[in-house]
Chain A
Amino acid sequence: MEGFFARERTVAPPGYNRWLVPPAALSIHLCIGQAYAFSVFNGPLTKVIGISAPAPDDWTLPALGWIFSIAIVFLGLSAAFGGRWVESGGPRRAMFLSACCFGGGFLVAALGVHTHMLWLVYLGYGVIGGIGLGIGYISPVSTLIKWFPDRPGMATGLAIMGFGGGAMIGSPLSVWLMHAFAGPSSVGVAETFVVMGLLYFAMMMFGVLTVRVPAEGWRPAGYVPPAQPKKLVTSANVHVDTAIRTPQFWLLWLVLCLNVTAGIGVLGQASVMSQEMFPGVITPTAAAGFVGLLSLFNMAGRFLWSSTSDFIGRKPTYAIYFALGVVLYSLVPWTGQIGSVALFVAFYAVILSMYGGGFATIPAYLRDMFGTMHVGAIHGRLLTAWSAAGILGPVLVNYIRQYQVDRGVPPSAAYSETMYIMAGLLVLGFICNALVRPVDARHHHREQPEPAPALAE
């Protein structure tokens, strides 16, 4: 069994079609992306005892909010600390652990719901599932980069797009299953958790069984690495422990953190904001549609922007995210003043596409800076920026908004200040990105992989 998961067993034979690999990565990301749709369980989980309405002993929404928060914390921790383990053992072992944790987490959480023990749900979905999220998120990154040295942005964008799409599958699937299992004595959540745990495990096993790594020195047919590499694309490698001691790592950490903070800040209030800026025009139902549309742009942006970065370069791509972001964030309040719903939706759609693009382009940016040797592990450590932004974004937005409302500013106007502050964060991000320079040669790893003759794909 140990042998089956070994990296050597996953090395692709000569002539292997590299386009068989992205579906393996997508199968993992499409499943773990369900985490973004966890909120659909919150309502039913407040009625596990009362069924039709919350009973006094039922769980409260604030207590349930911790399930998602714990999962995201463990995502960050496992990605940061498990990165080297993922790199050393190869993608199959990591994907299998991820499948066991994510699927198993659902089963433990189901037991927690069935026995009405919240700590068991925290442990199941939060801790165990969160580890599955973190390990699963980083598991295919370096493999894809090695298979697509000519298009690393597109390849990782494909996988990370799956994470955006996962919520779109998870949300209607959960609602449908809960509806099917709900009855006079159950809200159907425990049964739904069991089915989803098994379904997701099976889907992730597809990735476990089909993932392959390229042979050492493999190159796509016809691909010749540029003799004169671009200034910001290294042909050397940097060890993960060395990488986190370079200014480049922390500049990129800030780049990701600021881009995500601004995105999360506006994403969280998109529904309420649209209704308050256009009272009577955007109804609650239309606002739900608006949020759905944003998730589509979030997903599409992951693929489109990261693919574009292969042509225009990573640094210019982030410069566009920040510069265009500043303009659009600043203009959103203006769309409310002129009463243009179409412009409001269009601006928000582009903003969300760049939010998703920021996530998807960062692995390729790391590859350009630090090489392919430990890119998965370095990416794992960089994801702590996501965890930090997950706390910073909502706290900042809620604090600013409350401060404005306490000062007597009308709710619709309070959003303007928020947008301007988010634009300010993007200016900081622009500066951090502009400061990125190639990693100093003294940080390069001494053992360089020897180039091998190109093999036919």
Chain B
Amino acid sequence: MRVLVYWLIVGIPLLFGVSMTLINAAQLFH
């Protein structure tokens, strides 16, 4: 449980960054 919480603390910001980058990258294929 503790492992999951620790990974979520760093994983959520990283997921936010990756999502924003993917949205940006999608423009390449438009």
What separation, in Å, do the CA atoms of A20 and B10 have in the docked complex?
11
- Residues of A contacting B28 in the complex (Cβ-Cβ under 8 angstroms): 282, 286-287, 289-290, 292-293, 345
* A337 close to B (CB within 8 Å): no
Across-interface contacts of B21 in A (CB, < 8 A): 168, 292-293, 295-296
- Cross-interface CB contact of B6 among A20, A168, A203, cutoff 8 Å: A20
Interface 0/1 of A266-289, CB less than 8 Å to B: 000000000000000010011111
Flag if A162 contacts B10 (CB, 8 Å): yes
A286 close to B30 (CB less than 8 A): yes
Q: Is the CB of B10 within 8 A of A19?
A: no
* Binding site secondary structure of chain A: helix
- The answer to whether B27 and A169 have CB atoms under 8 Å apart is no
Q: In the complex, are the beta carbons of B14 and A286 less than 8 A apart? A: no
Interface residues of B in 1-30 (CB under 8 A from A): 2-3, 6-7, 9-10, 13-14, 16-18, 20-22, 24-30
Contact partner of B27 (CB less than 8 A), chosen from A166, A168, A288, is A288
Contacts A17-B2, A169-B16, A171-B17 supplied; 10 other A-B pairs, CB < 8 Å? A17-B3, A20-B3, A23-B6, A162-B10, A165-B14, A168-B14, A168-B18, A169-B13, A289-B29, A293-B28
Chain B residues engaging chain A, CB cutoff 8 angstroms: 2-3, 6-7, 9-10, 13-14, 16-18, 20-22, 24-30
**Chain A residues proximal to chain B, CB less than 8 Å:** 17, 19-20, 23-24, 26-27, 30, 162, 165-172, 203, 206, 210, 282, 285-290, 292-293, 295-296, 299, 345
21 contacts between A and B (CB under 8 A): A24-B6, A27-B9, A30-B10, A30-B13, A30-B14, A162-B10, A162-B14, A166-B17, A168-B14, A168-B17, A168-B18, A203-B13, A285-B27, A285-B30, A286-B30, A289-B28, A290-B25, A293-B21, A295-B21, A296-B18, A299-B18
